[in-house]
Structure 1
């Protein structure tokens, strides 16, 4: 298993941050066929072999992903793409 944890600072209004978070997880969902659901300011996503959450705070967003054995081999690529996507969408 591989764990990914990324924290991205932002200065977005709550509704903008929520839209940005949705963009990040939509991209993941497309690649990994994930199901997603909001619980307050936390966007949960999962499927067999992949699960995680994107948590919004007033000044930062944090994504935490756990990749199972099969997907763990792609952890470096997934982390790199997530960092790039987070930086772009939360830049405002």
Structure 2
């Protein structure tokens, strides 16, 4: 079971959502030290991410972004801060893209 679950509906469509997810992936790698890998699909992409104490996946669809993350023992104490930062970043990216729905 994931420790962090964030779902953000949007109205961008899959091509624009992919661009947005790539921006998130670049920022997450730089700011949070995450190693990310992209698995593209026909109707959904998955960005798998990890670093010491954190593993997860972001599902990128034409109508929503869904993020699930599992935190290690030491990171669980920081859950509220981590969750708030991820939520803020996704909300900001969606607002900039005009797809907040």
What's the TM-score, normalizing by structure 1?
0.85
- Deviation (angstroms), 1:50: 0.7
- Deviation (angstroms), 1:15: 2.4
Q: Aligned to 1:46, which of 47, 50, 70?
A: 50
- 1:35 matches 2:35: yes
Q: Would the aligned equivalents of 1:8 and 1:60 in 2 still touch at CA under 8 Å?
A: yes
Q: Would the aligned equivalents of 2:14 and 2:63 in 1 still touch at CA under 8 Å?
A: no
- What are structure 2's unaligned runs of at least 5 residues? none
Q: Would the aligned equivalents of 1:9 and 1:90 in 2 still touch at CA under 8 Å?
A: no
Q: Aligned to 1:79, which of 77, 83, 94?
A: 83
Query: Aligned-residue CA RMSD in angstroms?
Result: 1.6
CA distance in 2, matches of 1:67, 1:37: 18
What secondary structure does 1:38 align onto?
strand
Moved over 4 A (4+): none
Matched with 1:17 is 17
Q: Give the length in aligned residue pairs.
A: 91
- Deviation (angstroms), 1:57: 1.6
What's the TM-score, normalizing by structure 2?
0.79
- Deviation (angstroms), 1:22: 2.3
- What are structure 1's unaligned runs of at least 5 residues? none
Larger radius of gyration: 2
- Deviation (angstroms), 1:31: 3.6
